[in-house]
């Protein structure tokens, strides 16, 4: 049976009775201090996940290893992160799977990079491009901290994606940037036929511009766009209702697939809108 008890060097998530989260990394002889007493790291070592620990003034916490969502929401940030709900959609809709090659641009704080690396496994390759050196440094620290070292299958380039040159060597291209339409030519050249292009944008203006650019390029299928909205629920006995606060709009996802070179896009047939009809006399 695998020993899953806490060890020195483990990151531990502590949750109090109010649901507030704290994160510590276990170090021999260290102490964690709160407004109500302190907790010795040594007291957690050897305990299984799901244990209850208490400070010397009896303030109690549940102890677990943090999930990926817990880690990315608490890690240092340089740029706004891709939230777990959107990262999950990207992995699912873009069909991110073990062994594939992914080109990512707009790394920010590294939240999506971590999710992509976990999904592609050791047999896959992630090549990330970040225009800002300070963001690249933060993301490299966050990714290395999560995996216990920089993954061997992760390459990080500092610079603008438009300035890079790639042959058709990637199965997926994921863009999280202000102007993804400026990178469509690079994305087209980088993707293998049938590869997936996906962009994550915040506003309807950006969504409109990237959608029209995809259509005008002639290199991709008809783009599809969506957003995800998560609403939690309160349940206390028979009092079951939506929570007053929810994670609403964070961003839009737009998806298309790379056509074979030289093959025209099959135009999607649509019913004309009412406004397109002529005036009946």
pLDDT category at 277 given cuts 50, 70, 90 is low
Distances (CA, A) of 160 to 45, 206, 243: 45, 18, 41
pLDDT value, residue 245: 82
Q: Residues marked as binding for S-adenosyl-L-methionine?
A: 109-112, 130, 176
C-alpha torsion sign, points 175, 179, 183, 185: positive
Structure confidence by residue, pLDDT tens digits, 190-207: 999 999 999 999 999 999
pLDDT category at 281 given cuts 50, 70, 90 is very low
pLDDT value, residue 268: 74
Give domain limits for the chain: 11-66, 70-257
Q: Residues marked as binding?
A: 109-112, 130, 176
pLDDT category at 274 given cuts 50, 70, 90 is low
pLDDT value, residue 272: 64
pLDDT value, residue 279: 46
Topology of domain 11-66, per CATH? Vcp-like ATPase; Chain A, domain 2 (3.10.330)
Q: Is the pLDDT of residue 278 over 90?
A: no
Between 1 and 173, the higher pLDDT residue: 173
Average pLDDT score over the chain: 92
Query: What is the mean predicted confidence (pLDDT) over 51-73?
Result: 94
pLDDT value, residue 75: 87
Structure confidence by residue, pLDDT tens digits, 131-170: 999 999 999 999 999 998 999 999 999 999 999 999 999 9
Could you tell me which CATH class the domain 70-257 is placed in?
alpha beta
Structure confidence by residue, pLDDT tens digits, 184-243: 999 999 999 999 999 999 999 999 999 999 999 999 999 999 999 988 999 999 999 998
Task: Give the predicted TM-score (pTM) of the model.
Answer: 0.87
The torsion of the CA quartet 109, 114, 116, 118, rounded to 10 degrees, works out to 180
């Amino acid at each position: 049976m695998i020993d899953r008890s806490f060890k020195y060097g483990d990151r531990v998530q502590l949750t109090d009775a109010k649901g507030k989260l704290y994160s510590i990394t276990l170090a021999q002889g260290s102490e964690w201090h709160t407004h109500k007493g302190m907790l010795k790291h040594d007291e957690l070592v050897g305990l299984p996940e799901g244990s209850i620990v208490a400070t010397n003034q009896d303030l109690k916490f549940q102890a677990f290893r943090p999930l990926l969502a817990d880690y990315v929401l608490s890690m240092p940030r340089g740029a706004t992160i891709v939230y777990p709900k959107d990262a999950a959609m990207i992995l699912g809709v873009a069909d991110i799977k073990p062994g594939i090659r992914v080109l990512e641009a707009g790394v920010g704080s590294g939240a999506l990079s971590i999710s992509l690396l976990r999904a592609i496994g050791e047999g896959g390759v992630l090549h990330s491009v970040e225009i800002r050196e300070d963001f690249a440094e933060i993301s490299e620290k966050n990714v290395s901290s999560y995996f216990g070292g920089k993954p061997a299958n992760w390459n990080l380039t500092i610079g603008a994606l438009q300035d890079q040159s790639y042959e058709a060597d990637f199965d997926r291209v994921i863009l999280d940037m202000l102007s993804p339409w400026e990178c469509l030519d690079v994305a087209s050249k980088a993707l293998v036929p049938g590869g997936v292009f996906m962009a994550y944008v915040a506003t309807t203006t950006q969504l409109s511009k990237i959608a029209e650019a995809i259509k005008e390029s002639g290199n991709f299928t008809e783009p599809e766009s969506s957003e995800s909205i998560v609403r939690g629920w309160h349940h206390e006995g028979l009092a079951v209702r939506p929570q007053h606060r929810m994670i609403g709009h964070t961003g839009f996802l737009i998806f298309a697939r790379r056509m074979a070179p030289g093959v025209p896009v099959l135009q999607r047939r649509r019913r004309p809108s009412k406004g397109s009809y002529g005036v009946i006399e």
